[in-house]
A = this chain, B = another copy of it.
Amino acid sequence: METVKVAVVGFGTIGSGAVKLLLQQPERIARATGKKVELAYVVDKDLTRSRGVDVPKGKLVDDLNLVLNDPEIHTVIELVGGIEPTRGIVLKLLENGKNVVTANKALLAHHGPELFAMARKKGRSIAFEAAVGGGIPIIAAIGQSLTANRIECIHGILNGTSNFILTQMEELGTDYSASVAEAQRLGYAEANPAMDVDGTDAAQKLAILSHLAFGATPDWRKIPRTGIDTVQTADIRCANELGYSIKLLAVAQLTDEGLELHVSPTLTRHHTPLAEVRGAYNAVRVVGDAVGSVFFHGLGAGQMPTASAVIADLIDTIVGRAAITFKTLALWDKDRSAPVPVRDPGKIADRFYLRLSVQDRPGVLAEIAGVFGRHNISIASVLQHEPAGLDDGFVPLVIMTHSASAGALDDALKTIDSLPCAHPGTVRMRVRD
């Protein structure tokens, strides 16, 4: 049986998971590739910390040159993470003729064009199933299984940390800070969870999926995004009462006027697959013109689910499928792409959930409703309870609109904020049925 040499660069959590599969399940990988896959090196600065897996003597090294200068190494798994110096590492690997497997969505979102150009120039492939959705094979689904379709929209719960926190808030009624603390205690959130909870991570993943599905090349930094740090338990309760759960949804929707892209806490209707996604899971719903709606659900992060996707990419690279996919998809290839225009977010119509704080006196509802009417925004339902707790003369008023453009809604809320009967700072979220 032919032997293929591979290396892992970055021996952190995911790196250790990949090394575990490579060292502990060789027969499984041999069966899938028809070859003996030999782990030549694991490269990391830290040669001493225990990772729960024994790397044979001499194979754990801190010198990348050992990998770069070994012409027998066919494929390298990059799990360093982050943008620099990882960008330079991946470029050097490609320059030295290595195929690359990566889980690094930030790197692809920032430097996809440069890296893919180098891979093309060198006749090598980059595979990145693990960069979006962890163990969910969403890259293969969109890039391979659904290619007979025009993709019409993608709705994703792409950040497991956010979903865990929202689930805690919904199921236990704890507030945002307490739920973050619990997520940190259980290892679902980092000490600084900013990238997860502010929508950055989801926006980077959405940019990658949008490129794959629509050929769009959006700058992820320009994707309108709102994080879950704005979500209050009061909204989760009201949403529930209306038959919805709040999820951090990443949305890419093709319209006649271009591609809509946004990441925001969104009301999703109970008993739909997305609303039922709980805990640290990810999910993606893809709608294609032939296939209809296809829904994928699984662990979007964590050591072994991500390692599962990384090793699947390694297997694909070794058997030659990755090279074919890399060539036919022509990702981030400016010679092959006809960029899809990305639509002005102010024009994006949706149903909206609004929680206003209004004076508890006769005539206020009529006044508020009048403003919406004048802005041509139609109200679908209203929820107002008896005042509870501290009585400052203001009560929450929850309104669900029919479809309205975000721009018209902005204008209406600006007017309402200036009325004496309403506190400024109305809470606003999109609604998906």
A: residues with CB less than 8 A from B are 17, 21, 25, 28-29, 32-34, 129, 135-137, 140-141, 144-150, 271-273, 276, 288-299, 302, 304-305, 307-312, 315-316, 319-321, 324-325, 327-328
Q: Beyond the given A25-B148, A129-B145, A137-B137, please list 15 additional residue pairs across the A-B interface where CB-CB is below 8 A.
A: A21-B290, A28-B150, A34-B328, A137-B140, A144-B316, A148-B311, A148-B315, A273-B273, A273-B276, A290-B308, A291-B308, A293-B299, A319-B324, A321-B325, A324-B324
CA distance in complex: A104, B230 (Å)? 51
Chain B's closest residue to A34 (CB) is B328
B-chain residues with CB within 8 Å of residue A298 when the two chains form the complex? 291-295
Cβ-defined contact, B292 with A328, below 8 A? no
Cβ-defined contact, B137 with A141, below 8 A? yes
B-chain residues with CB within 8 Å of residue A148 when the two chains form the complex? 21, 25, 28-29, 32, 307-308, 310-312, 315
Q: Pick the residue among B145, B296, B309, B325 that contacts A312 (CB under 8 A).
A: B145
Cβ-defined contact, B290 with A321, below 8 A? no
Cβ-defined contact, A312 with B144, below 8 A? yes
B-chain residues with CB within 8 Å of residue A325 when the two chains form the complex? 321
- What is the oligomeric copy number? 2
CA distance in complex: A25, B151 (Å)? 13
CA distance in complex: A21, B140 (Å)? 21
B-chain residues with CB within 8 Å of residue A307 when the two chains form the complex? 148, 290
CA distance in complex: A302, B291 (Å)? 9
Determine how close the nearest CB of chain B comes to the CB of A163; give it in whole angstroms.
14
B-chain residues with CB within 8 Å of residue A136 when the two chains form the complex? 294
B-chain residues with CB within 8 Å of residue A273 when the two chains form the complex? 273, 276, 297
Determine how close the nearest CB of chain B comes to the CB of A68; give it in whole angstroms.
26
Cβ-defined contact, A304 with B276, below 8 A? no
Given known A-B contacts A137-B145, A148-B315, A325-B321, A292 and B299 have beta carbons under 8 A apart: yes
B-chain residues with CB within 8 Å of residue A29 when the two chains form the complex? 148
CA distance in complex: A305, B372 (Å)? 41
B-chain residues with CB within 8 Å of residue A17 when the two chains form the complex? 290
Cβ-defined contact, A140 with B144, below 8 A? yes
Cβ-defined contact, B135 with A294, below 8 A? yes
Cβ-defined contact, A291 with B305, below 8 A? yes
Cβ-defined contact, B290 with A304, below 8 A? yes
Cβ-defined contact, B21 with A135, below 8 A? no
